[in-house]
């Protein structure tokens, strides 16, 4: 099973700042099968990025994804108040999905 490790566990930033979230895999992941989600309290997760770098429908362009192999990054260029939430990465390989443990993005 591929293990995804996200860092940092908590990120404290102010609106307008840039956020960089990391997702590291225990073995190589196909870029086609790396996704990022945002989850707010009491809500289901929302797909942000698929295929490591493609934005899902309706996702603002301040969200971008990059990376390959074992290292992937979600970047939020300028934080808006509604961006403070928990973010998860997810991979698929060998008919199995796994999620990272999440990064909480909180207001500083």
Partner 1 sequence: QVQLVQSGAEVKKPGASVKVSCKASGYTFTSYDINWVRQATGQGLEWMGWMNPNSGNTGYAQKFQGRVTMTRNTSISTAYMELSSLRSEDTAVYYCARVLRRDGYNWAALDYWGQGTLVTVSS
Q: Rule CB under 8 A: which residues touch partner 1?
A: 1, 32-33, 35, 37, 39, 44-47, 50-51, 56-57, 88, 90, 92, 95-102
DSSP 8-state class, residue 44 = -
Q: Which is nearer to partner 1, 84 or 103 (CB)?
A: 103
Q: Which is nearer to partner 1, 19 or 29 (CB)?
A: 29
- Give least dist CB 78 to partner 1, A: 25
Separation of alpha carbons 39 and 89, rounded Å: 11
Sign of CA dihedral 91, 73, 45, 86: positive
- Per the DSSP assignment, residues forming a β-bridge with 87 are 38, 103
- Give least dist CB 77 to partner 1, A: 21
């Amino acid at each position: 099973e591929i293990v995804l490790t996200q860092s940092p566990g908590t990120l404290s930033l102010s609106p307008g700042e840039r956020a960089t979230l990391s997702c590291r895999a225990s073995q190589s992941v196909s870029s086609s099968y790396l996704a990022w989600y945002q989850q707010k309290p009491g809500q289901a997760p929302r797909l942000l990025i698929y295929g490591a770098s493609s934005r899902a429908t309706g996702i603002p362009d301040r969200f971008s994804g990059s990376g390959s192999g074992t290292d992937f990054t979600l970047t939020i260029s300028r934080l808006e108040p509604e961006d403070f939430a928990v973010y998860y990465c997810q991979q698929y390989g060998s008919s199995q999905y796994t999620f990272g443990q999440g990064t909480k993005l909180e207001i500083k």
